[in-house]
Amino acid sequence: MHERCPVCGLKFEREQGYFLGAMYLSYALALVTIVVLALILWMATRWSLQKITIWAILLFLPLTPALTLFSRVLWIYLDWAIDPEVPRPQG
């Protein structure tokens, strides 16, 4: 991952531990993804819950790096929507 955006120079990690919030997002996204995978598997195979859970997690693992980056991007958007670095005019 780049330290700054190659296009506009935005510093991605604004402060120490900045991406802690992104970890919560990626945890939530991971749960949703695993549940969706499990549902697809269940509809296709009607396996037992235990077997479906194991396979959903196994299928999810290769997606982890993409999900981590995606949640960081989401986090940056969220953070900038709430707390932009540009000082706002008073009043």
Per CB under 5 A, 7 contacts Zn ion: yes
Q: Which stretch binds Zn ion (CB under 5 A): 2-10, 34-42, 47-55, 57-65?
A: 2-10
* Residue in 79, 62, 63, 88 with CA at minimum distance from that of residue 17: 79
Question: Residue 20: which residues within 8 A CB-CB, separation 6 or more?
Answer: none
Under the binding rule (CB under 5 A), the answer on residue 1 touching Zn ion is no
Sketch the per residue contact string, 9 through 48, with Zn ion: x for CB under 5 A, - otherwise. Answer: -x--------------------------------------
8 A C-beta contact, residue 56 and residue 34 = yes
